Structure 1
Amino acid sequence: MYITITPQKLGETYSKSSSGFVDYLEKENQGLEKEDMEHFFNQYGDEISAEEVIREIDGNTAKLEKTEPRFYSITVSPSKYELNRLQDHSEDLKRYTRELMKDYVASFNREINGRPIGVEDIKYYAKIEHQRTFKGNDKQVRENQPFASKILELKNEIRKIDRGEIHGNIKALEKQITKLEKDAPHQQNGKRIVQGMLKDGPQSHIHIIVSRKDASNRYSLSPGSKYKASEVALNGKTIKRGFDRDNFFKSAEKTFDKTFGYQRNFVETYTSRKEFIKDPKSYFSALMKLPTNEKALAFKILRESGMPMLPGIPTNQAQLALKVFNQLRRGVDMAIKSSSIGI
């Protein structure tokens, strides 16, 4: 599971309205019948309209400066193994979201009227999506790009021949294109993967838009705080501040596992991914000590994530860590994005 928390930021300033982001989240509903649409929901209600979401988020921005985000976007992306544990992706992920947001507020080191903040103190709206498309920076698209460029070049050549601008053998060029389509390293259902293509398999994920201000529109609650937990004097009062991202990500996994009876593998944990960045030698040592079945699954998950693996695995854990570290660092760095706030 990967979770990202992103501030609402477009360029150097923050938009005064959440409408652009909400419209983006409505894209999957285009062309669908009402009964097939996924609607916004929150802790207390379902089938909330996009208009209500925009009105409530935009109207909850008292005393925020132009340089401060009006809301944060939380994206929760379960793995295919986690999704396979669910019975009904829509309903189960709604139920999980409502528990997840309790973990979210529990990660704030804040109080309102002398008590810890609760889920009733935040204003959020969530939406389940079931599709993902390949983006330009995906490994599959990037590694297919040389083939795409050559195919485009050949198609342009064919068009020039059709217009009589140059002479050439169209059938021979079409044969080259067919071969390039088949030779591209990344295929899905017999077709070359390109940017914008829908990803195959279960792709359900959660988008959450949460207001920067609390539900009363009086207090600022920023998950982007650089503090985990601290206190500051303000107007003669001691104010608690901070947001513990580590606690949030760990709690999110525990809540999922408890809710759905999921047995999380070592390499799926937020803690292990952080350990890889901090101490790769320790990470691989722990990986090699896993029981045989768990270790086999761990390497399968790593391969499926797109990380390059060695054809032969050294038996010495330290040797493994040092040899594989540089190969895997880039891939795991991408996964570790869930540990920070940013675009």
Structure 2
Amino acid sequence: MYITITPQQTQGNFSQSAADYVAYLEKENESLSLSEQEHFFNQHGDKITAEQVISEIDGNTKKLSRHEPKFYAITVSPSQAELRRLKDHSRDLKVYTRELMKAYAQSFHREIHGRAPNVDDIKYFAKVEHQRYFKGKDREVRENQPIASKILELQHQKRRIVRGEETGNLEQIKEKISELEQSAPHQLDGKRIVQGMAKLGHQTHVHLIVSRRDASNSVSLSPGSKYRASEVMLHGKPVKRGFDRDQFFTQAEKVFDAKFEYQRNFVEHYPSRKLMVQNPKLYYSTILGLPANEKAFALKLLGKSGVHLPQIPTNKVQLALKTIKALKRGVELAIKSGSIGI
């Protein structure tokens, strides 16, 4: 499960309205028939219009300054293995999202009118999407980049020849470009993978737009808070503050596993990925200590995520620091590219 929480961009020329982000989320519908289109939904409603989303998010910003985010964008991207557990991607992810947002509300260390927040205090709208596209940070795009640079230079050379700025054989250049295209290490349907190309396989995921203010427009609920759980004096009164991301990410997995009977491997657990960063030696020692089938699947998952796997020692005694560092670098790159998420 890959979950990201991103604040609205408020610097420079970015709009203060949610309209641009909502328009971005509507783009996938442009190529679909009315019966195929996905609509916005929230905890209690379906088929919510884009206009209603914009109106409610933009109208729920009381006491927020121009430079404070008015909303947060949350992306929930199940892995291929998780998606295979779903019978109906769209329907099941809507059910899951509504349960997930209960965990989101419970992760705030705040009080609203003297009580803990619940899901009805969260003003949010969500939308299921079925396509994902390669980004510049994806491993396939990065590893194709040397080829892409050579092709780009040849294309520039072609233009200079056409303009008469230099001499050269256009047919030879065309052949070189064709050879380079075919030599790219990562391809789909015989074409070099580039940024913006649609990914194959099941890619269903959920985008959420969540108001910074609670549904009553009276309390600020920021998942971007650097505080996990603390109290501060405000106007002479103690006020709770904070958002526990660890709790939220952990519950996100537990809710999914319970609802869809998913057997999560060690490397798929959020606490395990934290362990990889904090104590890589223990992380990899634990992997090597798993039962044979689980260990094989764990290494397979890491490999599919773009982790370069050096020769794996057969026992804990042989676990060399050099091997740990190599694996750690590979996993870090995979996390940054979105292959392994939290």
* Pair in the same fold by TM > 0.5: yes
TM range (shorter): over 0.9
Q: Which residue of 2 aligns with 1:29?
A: 29
Contact 1:123 1:214 in 2 (8 A): yes
Conservation of the 8 A alpha-carbon contact between 1:230 and 1:242: yes
Structure 1 residue 105: Cα displacement: 0.4
Alignment of 1:135-150 (within 5 A): 135-150=135-150
Q: For this pair of structures, how many residues does the alignment match?
A: 337
Please give the residue correspondences for 1:117-128 in structure 2 after superposition, counting only pairs within 5 Å.
117-128=117-128
The TM-score with structure 2 as length reference comes to 0.92
Name the residue aligned to 1:199. 199
Q: Confirm whether residue 187 of structure 1 aligns to residue 187 of structure 2.
A: yes
Kindly state the Cα deviation for residue 14 of structure 1 after the two structures are TM-superposed: 6.7
What's the CA shift string for 1:192-250, capped at 9, x where partnerless? 11111111111111111110100000011111112211122323432222111000000
CA distance in 2, matches of 1:180, 1:250: 44
Unpaired runs of at least 5, structure 2 = 338-342
Structure 2 match to 1:80: 80
1:276-291 paired onto structure 2 within 5 Å: 276-291=276-291
Distance 1:336-1:156 versus aligned 2 partners, 3 A rule: closer
Distance 2:335 2:320 in 1: 18
Quote the Cα distance in structure 2 between the aligned partners of 1:62 and 1:13.
21
Q: Distance in 2 between matches of 1:181 and 1:61?
A: 50
Deviation per residue, 1:166-214 (Å, 9 max, x gap): 5444443333222211111111122111111111111111111110100
Task: Provide the rounded CA distance (Å) in 1 between the counterparts of 2:3 and 2:304.
Answer: 19
Mean alpha-carbon deviation: is it higher for 248-257 or for 137-146?
Answer: 137-146
Q: Residues 106 and 335 (structure 1 numbering): CA distance in 2 closer, same or farther, change over 3 Å?
A: farther
Amino acid at match of 2:322: K
Structure-1 residue corresponding to 2:253 = 253
- Where structure 1 has 5 or more consecutive residues not aligned to the other structure, the ranges are 339-343
Q: Counterparts of 1:96 and 1:20 in 2: how far apart (Å)?
A: 26
Distance of aligned partners of 1:68 and 1:163 in 2 relative to their CA distance in 1, 3 Å threshold:
closer
2: CA distance, partners of 1:174 / 1:283: 49
Q: 1:228 and 1:156 mapped to 2: Cα distance? A: 52
Over 3 Å counting, the alpha-carbon distance change for 1:7 and 1:331 in structure 2 is farther
Distance in 2 between residues matched to 1:130 and 1:89, nearest whole Å: 9
Q: How well do the aligned residues superpose, as a CA RMSD in angstroms?
A: 2.0
* Aligned residue in 2 for 1:328: 327
Q: Which amino acid aligns with 1:193?
A: I
Matched-pair identity in %? 62
| Map of 1:266 onto structure 2 | 266
Partners of 1:234 and 1:174 lie apart in 2 by 69
The verdict on how the C-alpha distance between 1:212 and 1:13 changes in structure 2, with shifts beyond 3 A counting, is: farther
Question: 1:154 and 1:71, CA in 2 relative to 1: closer, same or farther beyond 3 A?
Answer: same
Asked if structure 1 preserves the Cα contact closer than 8 Å seen for 2:284 and 2:324, the reply is no
User: What letter is aligned with 1:241?
Assistant: R
| Counterparts of 1:246 and 1:9, CA distance in 2 | 24
Cα–Cα, structure 1 residues 200 and 71, in superposed 2: closer, same or farther, change >3 Å?
same
> Are the counterparts in 2 of residues 105 and 118 from structure 1 also a CA contact under 8 Å?
yes
- Tell me, yes or no, if the aligned pair for 1:62 and 1:217 is still in contact at 8 Å: yes
Kindly tell me: are residues 125 and 6 of structure 1, through their superposed partners in 2, closer, same or farther at Cα, counting changes over 3 Å?
A: same
Change beyond 3 A, Cα 1:244–1:197? same
